[in-house]
Amino acid sequence: MTTPAGIDAAIRATSSDEIPFALIEQGFEAFPKPAGKKFEYGTTGIRTKGDTLESTCYRLAIIGALRSKSLNGKLIGLMVTASHNPEPDNGIKPIDSRGEMLDVTWEPYCTAACNAVDAQEFFGILKKLIHAYKIDLKTPAKVIYGHDTRPSSPMLIKAVASGLAAMGAQTIDAGLKTTPQLHYLVHAHNTAGTEEAYGEPTEEGYYKKLADAFLKLVEGKPATSKLTVDCANGVGAHALLNIQKYIPSSALEIRALRTAIGTKGALNDGCGADYVKIGQKLPKDIEKDGVQQGDRMCSFDGDADRIVFYYLRGNPAQKDSFRLLDGDKIAALATDYISELAKKAGIELNVGCVQTAYANGSSTKYLEQRVPVTCTPTGVKHLHRAAEHYDVGVYFEANGHGTVLFSPDALKLLSEAKPTTPAAEDALIQLRNLVDVINQTVGDAISDMLLVEVILRSRQWDCEEWDALYEELPNKMLKVIVKDRAAFTTEDAERRLVTPTGLQAKIDEVVAKYKDARSFVRPSGTEDCVRVYAETGLAAELDSLANNVAKLVQEASDA
Ligand SMILES: CC(=O)N[C@H]1[C@@H](OP(=O)(O)O)O[C@H](CO)[C@@H](O)[C@@H]1O
Ligand SMILES: [Mg+2]
């Protein structure tokens, strides 16, 4: 761990009961807030155009240091990324000490701090935070920070480092990382040397942990055909290349595409998990890479915390030959597999599934026939918390962001179980290794990719067999640009609008005209738009439903 140079004064200052206001003020002036710009802590940190975010990064670094102090000096993380958003966007996301998202009660302080117009207002917010959480300023702060491949990331990292230096925090500059790697590192550092040690707290340690577990899980099982991976021209390409050092191609043959890290304009452009999921189509021009019918393919997003799979069924020239295996299908695959293993191992585990309103109706129906299912608002922070209520909580957003959590009780059961038959012992060993191949801190494209590969191989399934679990209802998502997205508020896990007044009743009226239809509207927490989701029993009616609901939204905004 390194302490940034030239901050002795700051360290002295923070080892007293004082906040180093004078030092903080210097940086405050050096990273001015763009006039008139309003920041908002959204679905996952603060995200907007990268060139407007220096002040935000500086201020959230200071809050990050306070968060670490409030947790007795445990390491917290700061990730600079805007995930699947266009390349000019960027963002910053704090990570709490167990590798999970920042405690939501801190979010309003983050929003207020980033919007403060002068140093005095900013100091006032810091003081309130210190008072509300009874923060002992003498406690040292430890913060690790990392970034994805965006051109604005180095500039924003400088602002982060300055904020941490002003606070005299001990820091680890993790450099280029996938978002889930940074979550892993936070948890691994904080548990190192304890009974709960999560893994070696290095990037290498991350690859080794996942790869070792994967190799044990597939040992003796006939290899499947090669997997084609679209890395979205992002940091996922770096991670994929590195994990291949630990997984020989005889164990998993990977063909990595869209690996052009640093090529201007390439990130998420015509590729990546979001492009594929929203457009329900192949990455642009991938046919030129010789993709064939039946090939197993997947796409990461820009910071490699999401994954969706897909393949071509029937004649690849036909538009409907594209078949998506999204987060919902991954959840179904994982839920069934883990439930079966638990049964075979003779262990009672309460397996549950967590989804959002974006989950396809068919997936919810499929899962509800098997396990308890919870619906939460959008954003992994909500799903993660809900998944903690189960012994094994499988959570996935439809867009492919998710993971599986094993509770401390479940882990204890797994380690203490005494299987009575060889088959039960096999299942138990498989479960124990699954725990290690899954990144339990957050959704992780690399870890989820390996999990899916293990299950498909174990079942000796191709994509078509996996796809056959259920048939999706036709669905579509639209963005509507409105005057003020804050005017749209929701209830019932975002499935119904509260305001604008009267709009929900109009949506209900429209939806009732279509067969087996569902539609809901919510403001995005990462983009300046309102999202419309529509799902119908009849594909021919889908566009009409989505467009009619979008029209109602536009009218309500213009009114
Ligand atoms: C419909 C949808 O996919 N929304 C995404 C998107 O959030 P919005 O609040 O919808 O912009 O980005 C989030 C962060 O990646 C992700 O958690 C979420 O699921
Ligand atoms: Mg992402």
- Is the beta carbon of 399 within 6 A of some atom in ligand 1? yes
| 188: nearest Cα among 414, 385, 390, 436 | 436
The predicted pLDDT at position 17 comes to 63
* 310 and 230 assigned to the same domain: yes
Continuous segment of H or E residues that includes residue 510: helix 503-511
For a mutational test of ligand 1's pocket, the pick from 526, 527, 533, i.e. the residue with the most ligand atoms closer than 8 A to its C-beta, is 526
* 118 and 93 assigned to the same domain: yes
Residue 108 marked in a binding site: no
Q: Rounded distance, CA 171 to CA 161, Å?
A: 8
* 463 and 484 assigned to the same domain: no
* 427 and 337 assigned to the same domain: yes
DSSP characters over 337-365: HHHHHHHHHT----EEEEEETTS-HHHHH
**Angle of the 422-437 helix axis to the 327-345 helix axis, nearest 10:** 140
* 159 and 293 assigned to the same domain: no
- Is the beta carbon of 378 within 6 A of some atom in ligand 1? yes
Ligand positioned closest to the Cα atom of 530? 1
Query: By the 8 A CB rule, do 61 and 159 touch?
Result: yes
Residue 528 marked in a binding site: no
User: What residue owns the CA closest to ligand 1's atom 2?
Assistant: 399
The predicted pLDDT at position 547 comes to 98
For a mutational test of ligand 1's pocket, the pick from 524, 528, 530, 533, i.e. the residue with the most ligand atoms closer than 8 A to its C-beta, is 524
pTM recorded for the entire structure: 0.94
- Is the beta carbon of 198 within 6 A of some atom in ligand 1? no
The predicted pLDDT at position 9 comes to 39
Q: What's the structural domain count of the chain? A: 4
Instruction: Extract the tokens encoding 157.
Output: 């990292």
What are the Cα distances from residue 480, in Å, to 72, 81, 89, 484?
44, 24, 19, 11
Catalytic positions are: 83
Q: Which domain CATH number covers 248?
A: 3.40.120.10
DSSP characters over 35-46: TT-----BTTBE
* 545 and 445 assigned to the same domain: no
What are the Cα distances from residue 494, in Å, to 47, 142, 532?
21, 36, 11
Within a domain: residue 195? Answer: no
What range does the domain containing 540 cover? 475-558
Q: Which domain CATH number covers 531?
A: 3.30.310.50
Domain boundary residue, one of 434, 449, 467: 467
Tell how far the Cα of 212 is from the centroid of ligand 1, in angstroms: 32
Query: By the 8 A CB rule, do 177 and 141 touch?
Result: no
* 349 and 410 assigned to the same domain: yes
Domain boundary residue, one of 467, 500, 523: 467
Tell how far the Cα of 173 is from the centroid of ligand 1, in angstroms: 27
Nearest 5°: the CA angle 108, 114, 120 is 100
Within a domain: residue 45? Answer: yes
User: What residue owns the CA closest to ligand 1's atom 1?
Assistant: 358
- Is the beta carbon of 380 within 6 A of some atom in ligand 1? yes
Within a domain: residue 170? Answer: yes
- Is the beta carbon of 494 within 6 A of some atom in ligand 1? no
**Angle of the 119-132 helix axis to the 54-70 helix axis, nearest 10:** 20
Residue 526 marked in a binding site: yes
Tell how far the Cα of 354 is from the centroid of ligand 2, in angstroms: 18
> CB within 8 A of 154, min separation 6: which ones?
147
Nearest 5°: the CA angle 85, 90, 93 is 105
Within a domain: residue 391? Answer: yes
* 337 and 366 assigned to the same domain: yes
Tell how far the Cα of 544 is from the centroid of ligand 2, in angstroms: 30
| Cβ burial, residue 294 (10 Å; 0-12/13-18/19+) | middle
Which atom of ligand 1 lies at the shortest distance from residue 526's CA?
11
For a mutational test of ligand 1's pocket, the pick from 397, 442, 475, i.e. the residue with the most ligand atoms closer than 8 A to its C-beta, is 397
Within a domain: residue 193? Answer: no
Within a domain: residue 363? Answer: yes
Query: By the 8 A CB rule, do 525 and 44 touch?
Result: yes
Ligand positioned closest to the Cα atom of 445? 2
Q: Rounded distance, CA 556 to CA 559, Å?
A: 5
The predicted pLDDT at position 411 comes to 97
Query: By the 8 A CB rule, do 113 and 126 touch?
Result: yes
Query: By the 8 A CB rule, do 353 and 403 touch?
Result: no
3-state secondary structure of 49: strand
- Is the beta carbon of 83 within 6 A of some atom in ligand 1? yes
* 159 and 228 assigned to the same domain: no
Which atom of ligand 1 lies at the shortest distance from residue 527's CA?
11
The predicted pLDDT at position 7 comes to 36
DSSP characters over 359-414: S-HHHHHHHHTTS-EEEE-SSHHHHHHHHTTSSEEEEE-TTS-EEEEE-HHHHHHH
Sequence-distant contacts of 95-98: CB under 8 A, at least 24 apart: 95/182, 95/183, 95/186, 96/67, 96/71, 96/186, 97/68, 97/71, 97/186, 97/187, 97/190, 98/186, 98/187, 98/190, 98/441
User: What residue owns the CA closest to ligand 1's atom 18?
Assistant: 379
The predicted pLDDT at position 490 comes to 97
Q: How many residues does the chain have?
A: 559
> CB within 8 A of 483, min separation 6: which ones?
557, 558
Tell how far the Cα of 487 is from the centroid of ligand 1, in angstroms: 19
- Is the beta carbon of 525 within 6 A of some atom in ligand 1? yes
- Is the beta carbon of 294 within 6 A of some atom in ligand 1? no
| 449: nearest Cα among 185, 169, 254 | 254
Within a domain: residue 408? Answer: yes
Q: What is the pLDDT along the chain (559 residues), one digit of tens a residue?
A: 333 333 333 434 444 467 899 999 999 999 999 999 999 998 889 999 999 999 999 999 999 999 999 999 999 999 999 999 999 999 999 999 999 999 999 999 999 999 999 999 999 999 999 999 999 999 999 999 999 999 999 999 999 999 999 999 999 999 999 999 999 999 999 999 999 999 999 999 999 999 999 999 999 998 889 999 999 999 999 999 999 999 999 999 999 999 999 999 999 999 999 999 999 999 999 988 988 888 999 999 999 999 999 999 987 777 789 999 999 999 999 999 999 999 999 999 999 999 999 999 999 999 999 999 999 999 999 999 999 999 999 999 999 999 999 999 999 999 999 999 999 999 999 999 999 999 999 999 999 999 999 999 999 999 999 999 999 999 999 999 999 999 999 999 999 999 999 999 999 999 999 999 999 999 998 888 999 999 999 999 999 999 999 999 999 999 8
Q: Rounded distance, CA 252 to CA 254, Å?
A: 6
Query: By the 8 A CB rule, do 272 and 300 touch?
Result: yes
The predicted pLDDT at position 319 comes to 74
User: Residue 351: phi, psi to the nearest 5?
Assistant: -85, 130
* 363 and 338 assigned to the same domain: yes
For a mutational test of ligand 1's pocket, the pick from 40, 43, 83, 519, i.e. the residue with the most ligand atoms closer than 8 A to its C-beta, is 43
- Is the beta carbon of 41 within 6 A of some atom in ligand 1? no
Q: Rounded distance, CA 248 to CA 251, Å?
A: 5
Continuous segment of H or E residues that includes residue 171: strand 170-176
Domain boundary residue, one of 287, 315, 343: 315
* 165 and 31 assigned to the same domain: yes
* 17 and 155 assigned to the same domain: yes
Within a domain: residue 188? Answer: no
